[in-house]
Amino acid sequence: MRNVTVAATQMIGGWDVEQNIQRAERLVRDAVSQGAQIVLLQELFERNYFCQKQKPDYLDFATSVEENPAVLHFSKIAKELNVVLPISIYERAGHCLYNTVVIIDADGSNLGIYRKSHIPDGPGYSEKYYFTPGDTGFKVFDTQYAKIGVGICWDQWFPECARCMALMGAELLFYPTAIGTEPHDATIDSSGHWQRTQQGHAAANVTPLIASNRIGKETEGDSEITFYGCSFIADESGAMVQEAGRTEEAVLVHTFDLDAIAATRRAWGVFRDRRIDFYGTVATKDGVTKQPKTQGSN
């Protein structure tokens, strides 16, 4: 038996970085008080989701990992509370800007970074303006409590991301997120689709999945997004074991026996029976043409 307790959180945004960091710390402490050993905060929680509009001034929000206020703050919190914290930041590295997660281990050390691989672009979600596509490839981090894989928001729509992390040994999958209404069409509600897609990743890989989203209405000129929360924890069968509402701040906590889940995964044989000799089509865009390998590809 190897029990690990995880937490998903959700909170409202805002432009005050220090206030948001303090709000996030309160949620982390709440989660740890309930036994959580790995706590997930939402995507880009330092400020409002700034990608609704293409504003050159917002490019200045990016910092190096070493200088980032959230990383500096939560490195101390992780060490104090003996908790693992994946921290989502807007990273500046040379001339490139990335949507990045920094994995802080329970002793406060930096285990490394993952840079968002899939970058969306659409009304209200102009991320291609702000972010360079990630160059790290999918990664798994050997934390004090478990081997974890972390994707970022749009990554969660791609089963290849979850499968790669599972193949690399991830025992838990984490996805920090910022998703809500569509400014161009108020009738679209993707919350259920968003949840079911990730529940499918958990089920297909026989691996629990933890997703954190933000809440609240954020406005940029004539663009408006209401983030719909619905953060959740799914077990290795894809079943929802914890779910937050659409409007309230939340801390969700659940304990998994990773040894028992590993035994279940082996018994199902979904990794034993994979036919990688048939999967070349997945490495094409049009179903035919093979793409050259790029840096960070797995």
> Active-site residues: which are they?
43, 116, 153
Residues found in the chain = 298
Q: Angle at CA 93, nearest 5°, toward 88 and 95?
A: 130
Distance of CA 245 to the CA centre of its chain: 18
Q: What angle do CA 142, 41, 226 make, to 5 degrees?
A: 145
What type of residue sits at position 154? W
